[in-house]
Chains A and B, each alone.
Chain A
């Protein structure tokens, strides 16, 4: 019995959300008195895999099949299932990413396991139960869920766990082959297009998010959002009306029907804070609201607020942010 963590790579490195999952997985292993192994798929440098020891991982299984560079659910599931079987894993940990959630659901069926996504706590294991807390009602509540099946599958909410930094020996990296066939790649993508983040930060992984709403009056004023984001090392986002009007692309829309983010710091500029928008950001640790309307509902959900004109306030923030020593 062991804990198996699925880690995702991007450009040879391990995604931040997967480092969080690895840290979570090794803590669960410690709680259960066992060890944590990682399974890596796709394009990840071996040095990056060996460094998973910092997150408490002792061993990494790596399937270097070239065809796995792209995400193909059936093939990924087969590799992870093979690793789970080889390690007799009873707890599987993923990041709650688009890939992690897709793979987790299929594995839950294949391994006859209990699955919880969007998980925000370590398990409580008293009395033979295995209870984790997960975010529900779009951030307005939490639910405690008992994972009763023999195999427990957990998809950890992004930015909910610290990345641990242990000292010690490098993790051993072992090759894994799941004997994949062409049939496993039947639904392989024809094409993968990565956004040009311009050296910027991916929104779902970001620790700081600067977001703009209709108060910015038009896409031509977005440099305010972008410059502040750049000065803070943040990702940029927007409200629903802004993406509906095509001022910004849909993948930047945060809210109930957009993406959910939970950064350490969320700065909202010219966003009134409709309840649907709050649903996408309300698990952010610190919320800053800048709005010229003192009655904007967003102030009720904020930690810091400035009532003022974005066109006057934001340049001052950019200046102050640039003056920070990093």
Chain B
């Protein structure tokens, strides 16, 4: 089975988010990057499936050279090889076009990625890739198993419940917990990752459809009002009369 796992390179979850002085770009200064945590659920599940059924796991990143340490990390966790599409990921449509172009050349049995990236929170790429390739996209899935060699069974979250879906290969799915337990690379993995193939390809000429023109940060809260625990019921009165939320 050939599995493609798409990963994005995102600011660490504890990063302070800042923008350049003109508010036009994200300020990368002092920011640590990690594999998007949602993508890790997809990556580990892909590796588990490979371990159980055989096959290969390829990781794909649409990004610039500074994403390579995290691509190597994905290889250290257990992916077999990697492809980096050498481009700034300007919007979801652009990224989806790049992924679809790689997928068309390689005939993967499944294409997995996280439910969303923790930086742009778009939740768009998986659906777009499925639509471009004309294959089903099952989103957001929290369980993925093979029924037989050509059929997968997924459980997907819907508001207020879940759906059980069976799809024929190939398909796209986005992952969320508890699909798998993300792994930490071990020393052997880190050593072998150095020599695993990482191919850099140039992007197709796709155009972005959404143009990011400006960034801003939410207004700071006015500070916390403390309430005496002995008189905790006062909180309910304040929530009704002052905050007007009850």
Contact = CB atoms under 8 A, between A and B. Distances in A.
Given A142-B215, A279-B13, A288-B239, A115 B229 contact: no
Contacts of B156: 98, 189
Interface stretch (A58-66, A170-178, A313-321): A313-321
A324 B222 CA distance: 27
B211 A145 contact: yes
Contact of A304 (B96, B122, B138, B243): B243
Interface in B196-221: 209-218, 221
**Interface of chain A, main secondary structure:** mixed
A193 B161 contact: yes
Given A265-B246, A306-B235, A105 B162 contact: no
B159 A202 contact: yes
Contact of A194 (B37, B160, B236): B160
A305 B243 CA distance: 13
A265 B239 contact: yes
Contacts of B210: 114-116, 145-148
Contacts of B191: none
Interface in A172-200: 186-195, 197
Nearest to A96: B123
B127 A106 contact: yes
Nearest to A10: B160
Given A140-B17, A301-B221, A304-B238, A193 B164 contact: yes
Contacts of A137: 11, 17, 118-121
A102 B246 contact: no
A309 B230 CA distance: 10
Given A191-B163, A320-B232, A109 B131 contact: yes
Interface in A21-43: none
A232 to B, nearest CB: 7
A108 B227 contact: no
A103 B130 CA distance: 11
B136 interface: yes
Interface string B13-56: 11001010000000000000000011000000000000000000
B124 A105 contact: yes
Interface string B104-141: 00000000000000111111111110111000111110
B233 A319 contact: yes
A118 B122 contact: yes
Given A104-B124, A136-B121, A147-B210, A320 B236 contact: yes
Contacts of B122: 117-118
Interface residues of A, number: 98
A145 B93 CA distance: 14
A149 interface: yes
A68 interface: no
Given A304-B239, A312-B229, A117 B211 contact: no
B235 A136 contact: no
A64 B156 CA distance: 24
Given A97-B159, A146-B213, A257-B176, A303 B119 contact: no
22 contacts: A105-B127, A105-B131, A109-B128, A110-B131, A114-B209, A114-B210, A141-B19, A144-B216, A145-B211, A186-B136, A186-B168, A189-B163, A190-B153, A208-B245, A260-B121, A265-B243, A282-B218, A283-B218, A286-B245, A304-B243, A312-B232, A313-B229
Given A137-B17, A186-B136, A195-B161, 13 more contacts: A113-B209, A136-B119, A140-B218, A145-B212, A189-B156, A192-B161, A250-B142, A250-B177, A279-B13, A299-B224, A303-B243, A304-B225, A304-B243
